Structure 1
């Protein structure tokens, strides 16, 4: 895969994360660095975690977690490795101010606070046109 950022092609995104439809909650990789990743999602009406025209809390949190997965997957891709399977190890202090609606284009920025032996501690903030929708901390774990 020849990659230039941003990545907006769903097939390229699918190569970077272990999730598959209908649970894919990222559709854009805006930027990548060793300690930060920025990912996006356009909320579609057929999203499995949308109801009554709104992406539900679980969908927003899953989008935040998949932003972290995209960081890990792109890092592995850059090293010539396959994206690993992982899971949310813990969620701490997630605050949701507002839920995005169908057709909204949300952006999550994850700052890597610590990464050790497959465990990544991050602060994640999700915005819509500069408005903070949600923020918090989570740990993700690469499955062994």
Structure 2
């Protein structure tokens, strides 16, 4: 599996790796990729559907973490020269939100892949903003057939 160090910030390319479409896209950069880990980013904009009173809400943070997993899956399929599959959150075992970021802030989410078998991916996710952990979760995502 390929590991890269260059950031991918082309929003059109990122859009091809995930099934979500505007205005529901919650990742805008791929910062790191390897077989068992992915790091994605999002700059929170004022027109994001998950902002309220200039604050990015908890559902937005959860969706950002889930889309980081989708980005991992999409990039894996891209490397195999296959189309990115559609998936969904199968379960959230634990989610903790410590702080809600404001518009203009940059999120960086690291997802560690614990298991990825038969279209089911079990992960831990941790979101940072300005070097501080603001959210974490354990979730399971499932590919649609």
* TM-score, normalised with respect to structure 1: 0.96
User: Partner of 1:68: helix, strand, or coil?
Assistant: helix
- What is the alpha-carbon distance in structure 2 between the residues aligned to residue 37 and residue 139 of structure 1? 15
Give the equivalent residue in structure 1 for 2:129: 128
1:12-33 Cα offsets, whole Å, 9 max, x none, are 1001000000000000000100
Deviations 1:85-117 (A, max 9, x none): 000000011000001110000100000000110
Per the TM alignment, residue 130 of structure 1 is displaced from its structure 2 partner at its CA by 1.4
CA distance in 1, matches of 2:53, 2:7: 30
2:36 maps to 35
Equivalent residue number for residue 88 of structure 1: 89
Q: Deviation at 1:81?
A: 0.3
Aligned length: 142
Give 1:4 deviation, angstroms: 7.8
Match of 2:50 in 1: 49
1:99 aligned partner: 100
For structure 1, the 5+ residue unaligned runs are none
With the length of structure 2 as denominator, give the TM-score of the two structures. Answer: 0.96
Contact 2:5 2:32 in 1 (8 A): no
Distance 1:30 1:101 in 2: 21
RMSD: 1.1
Does the residue aligned with 1:59 lie in a helix, a strand or coil? Answer: helix
Q: Distance in 1 between matches of 2:12 and 2:98?
A: 31
Contact 2:36 2:114 in 1 (8 A): yes
Q: Distance in 2 between matches of 1:70 and 1:116?
A: 17
Structure 2 runs not aligned, ≥5 long: none
